[in-house]
Amino acid sequence: MPPKVRITKKMVEDASFEVIRRSGHENLNARTIAEYLKCSTQPVLYSFKTVDEIRDAAYKLADDYHTSFIMPKEDDKNPMLALGLNYVRFGYEEKNLFRFLFQTDKFGGMDIYTLMGNPELSAIMEMMAKGLDCNIGEAREMFLTFFCVAHGLASLLANNSMEYDEVQCEKMLSNLFYGIIAARKGR
């Protein structure tokens, strides 16, 4: 009977996520994962061929965590604004994960419209189109502008270039959101 596996693939994935969350993606390697799990590097690489495979698994966990973090709650009065504010807060509270998700070369060779066509955004686009009484194409264009500003704020916060002021961020995103709506109506 083979020995029982003490360090599972899931444990390695979770540890990788935590290493990145605590000390950044640039510090992810078999040694730092092993230190986190309090084991040798051999069990870390048992279920994965390379650290790049581990990084891909950690990226998926980080992406899922990010999605749950930023999604508006049912009782949010303005779901689009809530989404933007949550995104900015994620950049502030989860600096290392934000940089891992959005400031590495994961989107290399992709244009912004491809990114906006992500199936995970479909529900948001439908909600926005319904709430603003417009088609999906118009909702995507408005979302793109809103997303770029929210991403800029989150990037500033994730890179320690500015202090987080929730009231100011909400004011900025509200002005932008309602400005986008007013510009659409003025066409």
**CATH code, domain with 13:** 1.10.10
Phi/psi of residue 2, each to 5°?
-70, 155
Residue 111's identity, in one-letter code, is D
- Length of the chain in terms of residues written: 187
Does residue 157 share a domain with residue 132? Answer: yes
Collapsing DSSP to helix, strand or coil, 149 comes out as helix
Does residue 82 share a domain with residue 41? Answer: no
Does residue 39 share a domain with residue 79? Answer: no
pLDDT at position 111 is 76
Does residue 79 share a domain with residue 32? Answer: no
- CA 12-18-19 angle, to 5 degrees, is 85
Residue ranges for the chain with pLDDT beneath 50 = none
Distance between CA atoms of residues 182 and 162, nearest Å: 29
Does residue 166 share a domain with residue 94? Answer: yes
Does residue 105 share a domain with residue 20? Answer: no
**For 15-31, how does the pLDDT look when each residue is reduced to its tens digit (9 = 90+)?**
999 999 999 999 999 99
Does residue 122 share a domain with residue 85? Answer: yes
Of 24, 48, 65, the position where a domain reaches its end is 65
pLDDT at position 151 is 94
Catalogue the E-assigned strands of the chain.
Answer: none
Does residue 41 share a domain with residue 117? Answer: no
Q: Is the C-alpha dihedral spanning 166, 145, 106, 129 positive or negative?
A: positive
pLDDT at position 74 is 84
Does residue 181 share a domain with residue 110? Answer: yes
Give the count of domains, the chain. 2
pLDDT at position 109 is 67
Structural domain harbouring 156: 71-187
pLDDT at position 89 is 97
Distance between CA atoms of residues 183 and 187, nearest Å: 7
Of 18, 43, 65, the position where a domain reaches its end is 65
Of 65, 90, 111, the position where a domain reaches its end is 65
pTM score > 0.85 for this model? Answer: yes
